[in-house]
Amino acid sequence: LLKAGKTREGYQTTETIIDQLTQAMDILDGDYSNEKHVLAYENTTIHTAHAPDGLSAVFMRLKPSANFNKIKGLDNLAHCVPMQDTTFCDGTSQSLYFPNG
């Protein structure tokens, strides 16, 4: 059971939902295989999920900075993860950060 919340184990991610759902289905298949089951999740927070290095206007910098996109890891600590480069329509790569130096 995940204890959700900022000061607890954190919020569910797609991975934790899949893990929890897999465990629930294993239990249902083993103990209640002759019955039909419906599992429902309220996942509005998942709709805002994106890759740790994905583009996010919230984390974009106006000036050079050593502090990138802070993501809380499984160790419950904040880690700085820079956003990945993007590309123009012609395929040319575009960095989202100022060059070093």
Domain identity same for 67 and 99: yes
Q: Which residues on adjacent β-strands are paired with residue 72?
A: 78
Domain identity same for 41 and 58: no
Measured CA to CA, the distance from residue 25 to residue 39 in angstroms comes to 9
Read off the pLDDT of residues 8-36 as tens digits, 9 standing for 90 and up: 655 667 777 888 889 999 999 999 999 99
Tokens standing for 16? 């934790």
Domain identity same for 6 and 22: yes
pTM: 0.38
Mean pLDDT of 78-88: 79
Domain identity same for 54 and 86: yes
Q: How far is CA 37 from CA 1, 22, 23, in A?
A: 19, 13, 14
Domain identity same for 80 and 94: yes
Domain identity same for 55 and 27: no
Domains: count for the chain: 2
Domain identity same for 58 and 96: yes
What percentage of the chain reaches a pLDDT higher than 90? Answer: 18
Amino acid letter, residue 62: L
Binned at pLDDT 50, 70 and 90, residue 75 comes out as: confident
Domain identity same for 4 and 30: yes
Domain range holding 64? 50-101
Read off the pLDDT of residues 48-66 as tens digits, 9 standing for 90 and up: 666 666 666 665 666 666 6
